[in-house]
Amino acid sequence: MSTVAGVELGPQTPGLLSARGVGRDYDGYMALGSFSVAIGSGEMVALIGPNGAGKTTFLTIAAGLLDATSGKLEIAGAPAGSLPARAAVSYLPDSPVFYDDLSLEEHLEYVAALHGAGADPERGRKLLTRLGMESWGDSLPSEFSRGMRQKASIALALVRPFSVLLADEPFDGLDPSSREVLFELIGEARAAGAAVIVSTHRRDVVAKADRCLALRDGRLAYDGPAETEAIAEYFDTAV
């Protein structure tokens, strides 16, 4: 069993995320069309494309929060949305959601315990320290600025075991030092064997990726190296 930020990762297989012909329609509108991709252990993939291209739709299907209307998506060999898949995947949404009556430290304790990682409360505290949030553990997230809420959401995503990390625009709202910490944490997750899929419009994030997926009008337009010349036409539309 591998660890990241002191947390055990879930079971890992060579193809941690596998999508075959995955699509999603809304009353005739195609949000995602016949999307196929395989992402392996230790791989960081940047997901780019303009607003409405289907990035968040794909991530929420992979996280098990939205059903596909066609195709098949598996996480660590289990159907997306199933209990084994939910145990293997950690989802960092673009809009953090918190409980109104729980402090940040209580959030961390709850999430860790829910996923079987509650035996060591130091895990959450170490994450807060690295993110510069160590003095805010007793505070309610409703008191936080946008950047602080984003860092709190990052801590919640990483405090639990996972084999696949899905992150929707996780660097938005972070100051430069916090972005560097997140790069470090993602690097540790990859080194431990997790697959990381990051939706982004930031060139510095794309530069760190092993691979880039570009979506356009709900379809996969590019799957290849995250090289400036190769992705220029897709990245320009993303920003």
| Rounded Cα–Cα distance for residues 58 and 218 (Å) | 9
For 79-103, what is each residue's pLDDT tens digit?
999 999 999 999 999 999 999 999 9
Taking the CA atoms of the chain, what radius of gyration do you get in angstroms?
17
Give pLDDT, residue 236. 57
User: Which CATH number applies to 3-238?
Assistant: 3.40.50.300
Sorting pLDDT into bands at 50, 70 and 90, what band is 231? confident
Sorting pLDDT into bands at 50, 70 and 90, what band is 232? confident
Show me where the domains of the chain are located. Answer: 3-238
Residue with tokens 């405090």: 159
**Cα 95 to chain center, whole Å?**
12
DSSP one-letter string for 159-189: SS--SEEEEESTTTT--HHHHHHHHHHHHHH
Give pLDDT, residue 229. 78
C-alpha distances out from residue 36 to 68, 74, 136, 186, 238, Å:
13, 11, 42, 24, 20
**Cα 183 to chain center, whole Å?**
13
Taking the alpha carbons of 80, 85, 87, 88 in that order, is the dihedral positive or negative?
negative
Q: What is the pTM of this model?
A: 0.90
For 7-25, what is each residue's pLDDT tens digit?
344 444 448 999 999 999 9
